[in-house]
Amino acid sequence: MIKRIYVEKREGFDVPAKQLLDDFKETLDVKIDGLRLFVRYDVEDLSDEDFLRVRDIVFREPNVDNFYYELPSDLDTSKTFAIEYLPGQFDQRADSAAQCVQLVTGKDLPIIHSARIISLIGDISADDFAKIKSYSINAIESREASFELPTTLKISAEIPSDVEILKTFNDMSDVELKNFINLRGLAMNLDDLKFCQKYFRDNEKRSPTITELKVIDT
């Protein structure tokens, strides 16, 4: 079962929220009265008893932070969005929290995911809201997160099929290579592919696999 907690800096300690607000105003030139910033933790493989043990040690500082099991009801959900790391990206906050939990409990490392929740305050236009959201989410490493509670935090990976062998690659003409690039959606141009062809034909004297082509491309 997934346990979820939201943490927010108390007034007077909410420096990150104030800095983010100033950043939006100065960088994006948007009209915004304020914002609230939360850190959301989703925790799996941790008992109710252990969760209560670590709640005020790992996830928040009681003198500085407020915590909630649900987002406050006075938030405008139409002006609120969540940001999380893409699968496979290193989440330092979540990793540190998991290691701290393990130190306290002395048990197996739990699975923890974190997200940032930004809730804007004021009469914000749809264009400004979209601008703020686009600015906040770095598509290279993060994405907009769902507010739904997941059933599991474990990441499942599909077993790849057998690697395809390209038996005629070394003999392809330029026209055939161009069609090959378009068909496979490869991130390389004709010269790149001809270089691969020459390498496998003259150096390796064999046909490459699809995986090997992608490695060379990167």
| 161: Cβ contacts below 8 Å, ≥ 6 apart | none
* Angle ∠(73,76,81) on CA atoms, nearest 5: 105
- For residue 218, is pLDDT > 60? no
Question: What is the reported pLDDT for 184?
Answer: 85
Question: What is the reported pLDDT for 213?
Answer: 63
Domain membership flag for residue 124: yes
| 166: Cβ contacts below 8 Å, ≥ 6 apart | 207, 208, 209, 210
- For residue 216, is pLDDT > 60? no
Whether residues 32 and 137 fall in one domain: yes
Whether residues 130 and 179 fall in one domain: no
Question: Which is more confidently placed, 218 or 9?
Answer: 9
Domain membership flag for residue 73: yes
Whether residues 24 and 100 fall in one domain: yes
Question: What is the reported pLDDT for 161?
Answer: 75
Whether residues 90 and 138 fall in one domain: yes
What is the per-residue pLDDT across 133-185, written as a single tens digit (0 to 9) for each? 999 999 999 999 999 999 999 987 777 777 778 888 888 999 999 999 998 88
Q: Which domain holds residue 207?
A: 169-217
**How many angstroms separate the CA atoms of 43 and 169, rounded?**
49
Listed range (1-5, 15-19, 166-170) with the worst mean pLDDT: 166-170
Whether residues 127 and 193 fall in one domain: no
**How many angstroms separate the CA atoms of 61 and 50, rounded?**
17
- Residue 12 Ramachandran class (φ > 0 left, ψ -120 to 50 alpha, else beta): left
Whether residues 55 and 130 fall in one domain: yes
